[in-house]
Copies of this chain bind each other. A is one copy, B any other.
Amino acid sequence: MSVLGDFMSKTFDSLQPYLDKAMALETARSLFEWDDQTIAPFDAAEYTSKVVGILSDEYMKCLINDDVRKIIKKLKEDKEQENLSDKEKAIIKELDKTYEQLESIPPDEYRAFNELTLVSNRAWAKAKKDNNYEHFAPYLKKLIEYKKKFAGYRAKKGQEPYDVLLGDFEECFSIKELDIFFDKLKKEIVPLLKQVAEKSDTIYKNYNFLSYDIDKQKDFCRYLSGYLGFDFNRGVIGESAHPFTLNLHNHDVRITNKFIENNLESAMFSVIHETGHALYEMNIDDALTQTPVGTGASMGMHESQSRLFENILGRSKAFWTPIYSKLVDTYPDNLKDISLDQFIRGINKAEPSLIRTEADELSYSLHIIIRYEIEKAIFAGEADVDKLPELWNNKYKEYLGLTPTNDAEGILQDVHWSYGEFGYFPSYAIGSAIACQLYAKIKDLMPVDDYLREGNITPIREFLRDKVHKYGTTKNSNQILKDVTEEEFNADYYVKYLKDKYENLYLS
């Protein structure tokens, strides 16, 4: 410990009680969210939301106040800066983000927006159930108005409102980068998908939709998760309507799954996906957990980990070679006549479909591009909210060759907008692309397929831990990519991966 280090800690230490309190309140909020999604009784919501509201207010008050403002200001002075560790600098950067996101927004408007999201989410659920976009449209308009206004308060000179929103999820991606990325994808994938769609029937997959005992699914999914390295002393698996990952800290990481009797793949690939997220959070360095930088670098970087496990590893023949027999033994009646090769073709079958969350790996990013283009038009003032269903349906026809028969399977399908979350969707596609870029490097460095065939996930997991996971948000996604792959984000790996895979599967 240097003298400078000791001196430094005095200023930074005065921030610690605020960080600790905010961490405790945020952890409590996370636990309430987990509980709400997994086991809380139905009628509890009205009363429990009061509790969560108070905790959220306290969180804001604890971080956004004059005392913290003064400490941050002092820590930004040159003589303090040079004494700060990387971790401390990263924490201040995160606090800056929080201030940037919240400080310029009048508290009344912010509270009104949060209250709106509660009712707008319910309105969306009803609209989707009733297949009635008109019921949701007025709420959507209000949400967009608020988000435009907030983005206006926050925008730097000349910055587009949509760029402000995108930045909340991916600091390395603005409209400029995404346009390039998505144009490249469209150019390559739209024609490829058309070719594949014509040959979709060549892959047999009926076995997937037989009856699969749910208790056995649970056991096998738990096995899969542990096989990939999920540590059951530091995590649990629950059930919920939509699978998700949530962490209280790096020693308590939780995933959920959802089981469907007549679909073998659904729960298996959900658990592999969520385990990818969970490993990220479990591998955050102990020194960073329970601090503002103790979580994944960005939504896209997080999604890269879940998709690397779910798609690149989890849908490969090498991965299933040592464990497919265990799956067959679990369901001998259904699978005894399905060879490993047939199974691998089945889990990689691609065909255009209407629902994003059920899409295959090839068509997935087209679902994202449609949402991105619509959001961009909305925030550029180029789209009429009342006419969004038409816009949506036209784009599905153009990119996927399909037209939704109703808005429930069209524009109303995703929950995100009902919470006012705009700018989130691109992270899903960014994640797929980052996964491919990282994986290309991993393949250069180690015999991945040999390891997978031996049932040895450890070298891959440890590589990701040491090169990606452990840093939390002390590096952003581009810094991680540069340090690991010696280049910044490059979508070519993703395009090459998809072309190689699907040409090989369907067109060779």
| Chain A interface residues (CB < 8 Å from chain B) | 20-21, 23-25, 27-28, 31-32, 35, 39-44, 46-48, 50-51, 54-55, 58, 231-236, 238, 248-252, 289-290
Is there an interface contact between A51 and B28, defined as CB atoms closer than 8 Å? yes
Instruction: Decide: B54 and A252 in contact? CB cutoff 8 A.
Output: no
> In the complex, what residues of B have CB within 8 A of residue A50's CB?
20, 24, 290
Q: Which of B24, B39, B47 contacts A51 (CB 8 A)?
A: B24
Instruction: Give Cα A63 to B238, complex, Å.
Output: 36
Residue of B nearest to A238 (CB): B39
A256 to chain B, nearest CB (A): 12
* Contacts beyond the supplied A21-B58, A43-B231, A43-B252: 12 A-B pairs with Cβ under 8 Å: A20-B54, A28-B28, A28-B55, A31-B31, A41-B232, A41-B236, A43-B234, A44-B252, A47-B249, A47-B290, A48-B252, A50-B290
* Cα–Cα, bound, A221→B235 (Å): 28
* A55 / chain B contacts, CB cutoff of 8 Å: 24-25, 28
Residues in B with CB closer than 8 Å to A235 are 41
Q: How far is the CB of A480 from chain B (nearest CB, A)?
A: 25
6 CB contacts below 8 A, A to B, read A20-B54, A21-B54, A40-B236, A42-B233, A44-B251, A47-B249
Given contacts A23-B51, A40-B236, A234-B41, contact A251 B46 (CB under 8 A): yes
Cα-based distance from A77 to B58 in the complex (angstroms): 31
Which B residues lie within 8 Å of A290 (CB)?
47, 50-51
Task: Give this chain's copy count.
Answer: 2
Q: Are A249 and B44 in contact (CB under 8 A)?
A: yes
A134–chain B nearest beta-carbon distance, Å: 31
Q: How far is the CA of A252 from the CA of B39 in the complex (A)?
A: 11
Residues on B with beta carbons closer than 8 Å to the beta carbon of A251 = 41, 43-44, 46-48
Closest 7 CB pairs of A and B: A44-B252, A24-B54, A28-B28, A43-B233, A47-B249, A24-B51, A27-B51
Docked-complex contact B47 and A252, CB < 8 angstroms? yes
Q: How far is the CB of A315 from chain B (nearest CB, A)?
A: 29
* CB-defined contacts of A233 to chain B, threshold 8 Å: 41-43
Contacts of A43 in B (CB 8 A): 231, 233-234, 251-252
Of all chain B residues, the one with the shortest Cβ separation from A23 is: B51
By a CB distance below 8 angstroms, the chain B residues around A238 are 39
Alpha-carbon gap, A20 to B56, bound state (A)? 13
Q: Provide the residues of chain B in CB contact with A42, threshold 8 Å.
A: 233
- Residues of the B chain whose Cβ atoms lie less than 8 Å from the Cβ of A39: 236, 238
Please report the C-alpha to C-alpha distance between residue A194 and residue B235 in the assembled complex, in whole angstroms: 51
Give the one of A43, A58, A238 with max B CB within 10 A.
A43
Chain B residues lying within 8 Å of A31, measured Cβ to Cβ, are: 28, 31-32, 35
A32 and B41 in contact, given A47-B251, A47-B289 (Cβ under 8 angstroms):
no
Least Cβ–Cβ distance between A48 and chain B, in angstroms: 6
Contact A48 B248 (CB under 8 A): yes
Within the complex, the shortest CB–CB distance from A210 to chain B, in Å, comes to 24
Q: Which residues of B contact A46 (CB under 8 A)?
A: 251
A39-B238, A58-B21 given; A248·B28 CB < 8 A: no
CA–CA, A48 to B251, complex, Å?
A: 9
Chain B residue nearest to A289 in the complex (CB) = B47
